[in-house]
């Protein structure tokens, strides 16, 4: 309500200025109050009356504030109130001051251009009284209040919990990286030693004997499994290509290595060939005999690692050789 009254007063003053000095630019300022306390905010209304062909170029609020020892807090828009018969312009601003006493606010400069000529219009100056806040010297000094302790809340522990969690994550990352480096630095574990050929063969021969499939009529299956076990043992024990060789080729290699001088393995291979290719049906005792002969061969030719010889035994062997 108060601001609206000042607004109407500004319009009225501008109209009076325009009517008394038509063809010129006139500026007036109106304070909301002529007295304030130090640090209070005070409103100021600026009214400009100008011919319709005049153009406002600049309003030197900065120079006005410096000269008046005031601080501008808010500067509103330059509003057009009327355009006929002349321009009526208005602008609101809010300022404050921290200098007590009586102030003489200087005139405000408005730079405009009219008929191609640039000129300056100035307002009248204003008086302002700035009072300090009264202090009651007789009032007693209040005692210091006790410190109000805020009760402990769960929220107070959140920063600590987050800090501990962050530290735990850092420690975990460092430990993980250290463990990975140790694993990379450690040499891989050596592969387990291969199962000796004779153990594989003897286990398969025991399974063949326990199954005794020749008793159920599967003579060919038994003879095939028996000779396969023999071939596998020869290949693993002596590096012979026995799995893909024919029976005559295996017999020839056995003779070259002097492993079947009595011909027992040759008889086993020949019996298997007769069963597989000629569909022969040997006596039941032949199957057990072939199984026993293969088992005896494996047991007799199994690989035995050399026994380490002590230093004294080696010296004794050397002396014996020298004698």
Cis peptide preceding 267, ω within 30 of 0: no
From residue 246, give the alpha-carbon distance in Å to each of 10, 242, 252, 270, 308: 126, 8, 10, 11, 39
**pLDDT of 146-205, one tens digit each?**
787 777 777 777 888 888 998 999 998 998 888 777 776 667 778 888 889 899 999 999
CATH 2.60.40.10 in the chain: give the residue spans.
2-131
**pLDDT of 60-85, one tens digit each?**
998 888 988 899 999 999 999 998 88
Q: Which pLDDT value is given to residue 83? A: 87
Looking up tokens 């326990």 gives: 210
Domain 2-131, what architecture? Sandwich (2.60)
Alpha helices in the chain (DSSP H): 2-20, 61-68, 158-185, 197-211, 219-238, 247-256, 264-277, 284-301, 311-322
Residues written for the chain: 323
Q: For residue 90, what are its two tokens?
A: 């208005």
The percent of the chain in helix, strand and coil, each rounded to the nearest 5, is 45, 20, 35
Cα–Cα distance, 68 to 99 (Å, whole number): 10
> Any residues with CB less than 8 A from the CB of 97 and at least 6 apart, and which?
36, 38, 39, 68, 69, 70, 71, 103, 128, 130
């Amino acid at each position: 309500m108060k601001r609206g009254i000042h607004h109407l007063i500004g319009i009225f003053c501008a109209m009076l200025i325009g009517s008394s000095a038509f063809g010129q630019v006139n500026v007036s300022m109106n304070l909301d109050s002529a007295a304030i306390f130090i640090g209070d905010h005070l409103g100021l209304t600026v009214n400009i009356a100008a011919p319709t062909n005049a153009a406002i170029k600049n309003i030197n609020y900065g120079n006005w504030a410096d000269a008046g020892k005031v601080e501008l807090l808010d500067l509103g828009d330059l509003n057009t109130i009327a355009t006929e018969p002349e321009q009526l312009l208005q602008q609101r601003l809010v300022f404050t001051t921290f200098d007590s006493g009586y102030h003489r606010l200087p005139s405000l400069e408005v730079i405009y251009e009219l008929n191609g000529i640039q000129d300056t219009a100035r307002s009248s100056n204003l008086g302002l009284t700035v009072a300090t806040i009264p202090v009651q010297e007789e009032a007693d000094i209040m005692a210091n209040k006790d410190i109000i302790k805020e009760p402990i809340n769960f929220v107070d522990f959140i920063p600590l919990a987050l800090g501990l969690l962050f530290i735990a994550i850092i420690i975990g990352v460092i430990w993980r990286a250290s463990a990975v480096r140790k694993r990379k630095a450690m040499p891989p574990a050596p592969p387990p030693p291969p199962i000796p050929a004779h153990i594989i063969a003897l286990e398969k021969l025991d399974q063949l004997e326990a199954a005794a499939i020749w008793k159920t009529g599967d003579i060919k299956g038994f003879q095939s499994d028996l000779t396969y076990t023999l071939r596998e043992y020869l290949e693993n024990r002596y590096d012979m290509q026995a799995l893909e060789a024919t029976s005559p080729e295996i017999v020839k290699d056995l003779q070259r290595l002097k492993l079947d001088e009595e011909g027992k393995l040759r008889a086993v291979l020949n019996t298997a060939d007769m069963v597989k290719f000629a569909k022969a049906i040997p006596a039941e005792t032949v199957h057990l005999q072939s199984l026993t002969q293969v088992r005896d061969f494996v047991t007799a030719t199994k690989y035995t690692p050399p026994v380490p010889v002590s230093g004294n035994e080696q010296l004794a062997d050397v002396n014996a050789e020298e004698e």
